[in-house]
Structure 1
Amino acid sequence: MEQTLFPSPHALLILTIFFFLSPSIADQACQKSCGDIPLRYPFSSGTGCGDPRFHPYITCNDHQQLTFTTHTGCYPISYIDYANQVLYITDPTMSTCNCNQPSKGFGLDWDAPFTFHGDTIFALLDCSSTSPVYSPNGMFNDRNNSSRVALCDNRGLPICGFLYGCKPIVSLNIPISGCCVYTPVNFGPSFEMDLEKLKCGSYSGFYSFNGRESDADSWKYGIAIKYKFAIDNVYPSWCSSCEQSGGVCGYSGPLDSFICNCPPGFNTTTNCFFGDSFNGASKFLPNQKSWIWLVVGLIFKDLKF
């Protein structure tokens, strides 16, 4: 009698189902990091992960670089302080003590859930003598021309002195009178730092003197941005439970309903220990190896020798 080493139709069906399921089982769809930066709620690696309000602004590109995007450009994120809800970004066109270069400015989208952190200081550089920043009446701070704000902080003059003492700026022989220090007190969520409109050549931003106020080369250059979870700014308990169980908070469906994305690729509506699966059935989440051995065992059991 001739031996057959082919699986029965039953085993083939099991194998086919396994291969259809394997893409969702093999990998967790939502990443827990982007490059060297850990990802936690409300940020994410892509669509369906984190909080949908933040996804258009915070993204992880193909090179594993976490990026902050506004209408003025895309900016690398260097660090996220989750405890204090602050993210730190860098602007490649920003001037520092090591490099003076032209820039178009920086701004936040008016409808984005971000504001400038109080530690951020902006200095406008190489401003024209006819710049509106020197107007005693300041300039209008909204499109309706409803109110004026002063744009320069006179207490920031020492900062200008330290910045204009940097070699790249000294070599250009730019007068210090062309420097204006902004502070976030004048920045609303829709503030636009349009350097062309302000008639300034560049700007510098930093969020810490790093303990050496008179040494501009030691300052921490970049922009500190605050974010809020919601109006009450309370970290969602359901997301905390998901993350503690090894999952990543996400959303799905037309209403962007909460899901907990769990390894090895399942979604639940609670957490990764026990939970209602996305289709509504409460169950344990299977381990990838268990699935593989189960399928292999069923196939060999069905083989006819």
Structure 2
Amino acid sequence: MATSSHNYHIPLMIITIFFFYPPLIFSSAQSISICRTSCGDIPIKYPFGIDDGCGSPFYRHLLVCSNTGHLSLRTPSGRYPVRRISYSDPHLLISDPFMWDCIDGEKFRPTRPFSLDTSTHFSLSTQNDYLFFNCSEDKVIVAPKPLFCEHFPDRCESSCDSSSYLCRHLPECGSSALGKSSCCSYYPKATESLRLMLKYCSSYTSINWRRSGEANPYDYNEVAEPEYGVRVDFDLEVTRSCLLCEDTAKGGGRCGFDTQNQSFVCLCDDHEGMDNNYNATTYCKDPRYYSQQNHGKKIGIINAGSAVAAASVVGAVIIILGIGGFCLWKVRSHKPVTHGVQTNNENRLF
């Protein structure tokens, strides 16, 4: 009968864990945000999303935020760091680690052509200027463009301009950084033409002209400054459904999509005592949401917070079961044996 008191230890321990450590099981799930609004210091707004189901389905899985808060763009040619996103003048500026930089000087590293998936809503901006270095003049037409075009107008677009302003005024380092290496400017109209240029040139770089007036990108009186990077334009098509969803008077949701059929949904935080992370087909305060048909309907959102919360719950259950099992084993190990040999203070069955 003395060992029967151990039977009360198991439920007592389980109750203690739930009573004193509820944050381990419940708090992380309640604090999850539906869609992250930034990656590092770069704001993430519609049409983009770094959590599946957020933003527009046209840009699904194209932006990736690392655990260290670094944003990158996925393309067929690789992943590229995103330096900034402008929503007033819709574009991304990305860095290509394979492109030439002032630090390289005359040491040209192996490079690869940057490319975009033409099926996406991204496009290479015409505001990019491409400079090519040490091109073979047997394969590439390297000449001062104004003079060459005057004499050969039918071949003007095929020439690489050696009189380019940027070749003579390389941003951040000046033309002296190239030493005796040649430089010319050419705008490739397709990825294939870029590949051909790199086949006969040592390296290349992209320079974007950035206007200081980001608040008013259409004020062309603003002074433009050259900077290294590839400008990628994107379509910003805000629908009426999205505007209603984001209206703060109607609940201030975030525009997203169903991960199964990619139809539009309005993603909502906890509102007036309703369950966390619910979604509506119109806007968060739509009375139809409270109908039996829509109540409790969820959308699959895959994010780091959900994984952490799930892991916390699973971990807590494993801990509880482990402790309970250990206690149960200890209780059983002290039960008097009914057969076998008893030695010392341990009960062993042989």
After TM superposition, the score normalised by the length of structure 1 is 0.65
Aligned match of 2:166: 159
Whether 1:242 and 2:245 are equivalent positions in the alignment is: yes
User: What is the CA distance between 1:31 and its match in structure 2?
Assistant: 0.8
Q: What runs of 5+ residues in structure 1 fail to find an aligned partner?
A: 1-5, 7-18, 136-147, 212-217, 284-305
Cα distance change, pair 34–156 in 1 and its aligned pair in 2 (3 A): farther
Structure with bigger helix share is 2
Whether 1:269 and 2:297 are equivalent positions in the alignment is: no
Q: Report the 3-state secondary structure (helix = DSSP H, G, I; strand = E; otherwise coil) of the residue aligned with 2:72.
A: strand
Whether 1:252 and 2:252 are equivalent positions in the alignment is: no
Aligned match of 2:231: 224
Q: Is the 8 A contact 1:106 1:192 kept in 2?
A: no
Q: Is the 8 A contact 2:132 2:205 kept in 1?
A: yes
Whether 1:199 and 2:203 are equivalent positions in the alignment is: no
Cα distance change, pair 132–166 in 1 and its aligned pair in 2 (3 A): closer
Structure 2 counterpart of 1:281, from 294, 300, 305: 294
After TM superposition, the score normalised by the length of structure 2 is 0.58
Aligned match of 2:133: 125
Aligned match of 2:146: none
Q: Is the 8 A contact 1:24 1:265 kept in 2?
A: no
Cα distance change, pair 134–165 in 1 and its aligned pair in 2 (3 A): same
Cα distance change, pair 156–73 in 1 and its aligned pair in 2 (3 A): farther
User: What is the CA distance between 1:208 and its match in structure 2?
Assistant: 1.6
Question: 2: CA distance between counterparts of 1:273 and 1:209?
Answer: 41
Cα distance change, pair 129–69 in 1 and its aligned pair in 2 (3 A): same
Cα distance change, pair 23–191 in 1 and its aligned pair in 2 (3 A): farther
User: What is the CA distance between 1:37 and its match in structure 2?
Assistant: 1.1
Q: Is the 8 A contact 1:52 1:256 kept in 2?
A: yes
Q: Is the 8 A contact 1:207 1:222 kept in 2?
A: yes
Please give the per-residue CA displacement for 1:203-258, whole angstroms capped at 9, x wherever unaligned: 111112779xxxxxx731111111114xxxx4212222323333322111532111
Q: Report the 3-state secondary structure (helix = DSSP H, G, I; strand = E; otherwise coil) of the residue aligned with 1:150.
A: helix
Whether 1:89 and 2:90 are equivalent positions in the alignment is: no
Aligned match of 2:116: 108
What residue identity is the alignment partner of 1:48?
G
Structure with larger RCO (C-alpha < 8 A, sep 6+): 1
User: What is the CA distance between 1:116 and its match in structure 2?
Assistant: 1.7
Cα distance change, pair 75–31 in 1 and its aligned pair in 2 (3 A): same
Aligned match of 2:62: 57
Question: 1: CA distance between counterparts of 2:30 and 2:278?
Answer: 7
What residue identity is the alignment partner of 1:73?
G
Q: Which one has the largest radius of gyration? A: 2
Structure with bigger strand share is 1
Question: 2: CA distance between counterparts of 1:278 and 1:165?
Answer: 67
What residue identity is the alignment partner of 2:258?
S
Q: Is the 8 A contact 2:142 2:162 kept in 1?
A: no
User: What is the CA distance between 1:196 and its match in structure 2?
Assistant: 7.1
Most deviating of 199-208 and 237-246 = 237-246
1:162-201 equivalent positions in 2, closer than 5 A: 162-163=169-170, 165-170=174-179, 173-174=180-181, 176=182, 179-183=183-187, 186-188=188-190, 193-194=194-195, 197-201=198-202
What residue identity is the alignment partner of 1:182?
Y
Q: Is the 8 A contact 1:259 1:278 kept in 2?
A: no
Cα distance change, pair 206–51 in 1 and its aligned pair in 2 (3 A): same
